[in-house]
Structure 1
Amino acid sequence: MIKALELYLVTDNNGLEAVDFYKDVFDAEVTACTTFGQAIPDTPEENKNLLLNASLNIGGIRMQLSDNGPDYDYVQGTNMTACIQVDSVEEAQAIYQKLAIDAKRIDLELQETPWSPAYGNLVDKFGMSWQINADIPGFVSEKVTF
């Protein structure tokens, strides 16, 4: 079952600063904030403070942020996506498989990540950017797939 359709912002590797900015702008509560260094073993020193994921609660609405990351060029205008939050791996797989039909681009195949048992992102055949995330409370990854 789809739990939420949320706004997801990708920053130009200044995510921690953006979290503070949007926290102030929206009088939001930061409910999660994880850097690459906290989640991924052997992260190079220069990438340890990059934002892997943060969640802000804005009056009951969740907004998420992450840094673009060191391996990708930041392209303004493609830095905002819709994130589909589902409550099971099976639902994530079903939605991902449908959106992937004739997709213009698959940026990350659906897979386990440090924060989700099933996460992927793609640009569908209409050019819309989507993230699919199985949001399972208490999930802890046994492996890092990046």
Structure 2
Amino acid sequence: MAQILATYIALPGTTAEAFEHWHEVLGGELKMQKYGDTPMPGMPFEPDPNAVAHVTLDLPGGHLAGGDAMDDETYNIEGSAYSLLYQVDTVEDAQAIIDKFVAAGGRVGMPFEQAPWGDHYGQVFDKFGVMWALNVPAAQ
């Protein structure tokens, strides 16, 4: 089995909605398991059966994973603590992703434009407060 590094995000009760939204915007393959889907005897806590136990979104070039945060976990979501860098092939693809996030209630954090280092780069916060940095490498 190949080794894979995936980004893991625990959101405060909005994980299912967030991953479904990201799947809609980015595509890929979504797999989700809620605590109520499979009995888990011996759990050290009593989870909400509708809470996400584990979810994955497999995208070309990467993976996102996550689950709902437990009650005693608190997060300040919007900011740089939850930020994802997504490199895509074309300026048009990146702009389309940004437009979808904004249309669904997100906001631009940094305009998407040519950066001083030559790439096209910009940031958008989705409606869950997660920052997506979009990057398109400069033509070689």
TM-score when normalising by structure 1? 0.44
Bigger CA radius of gyration: 2
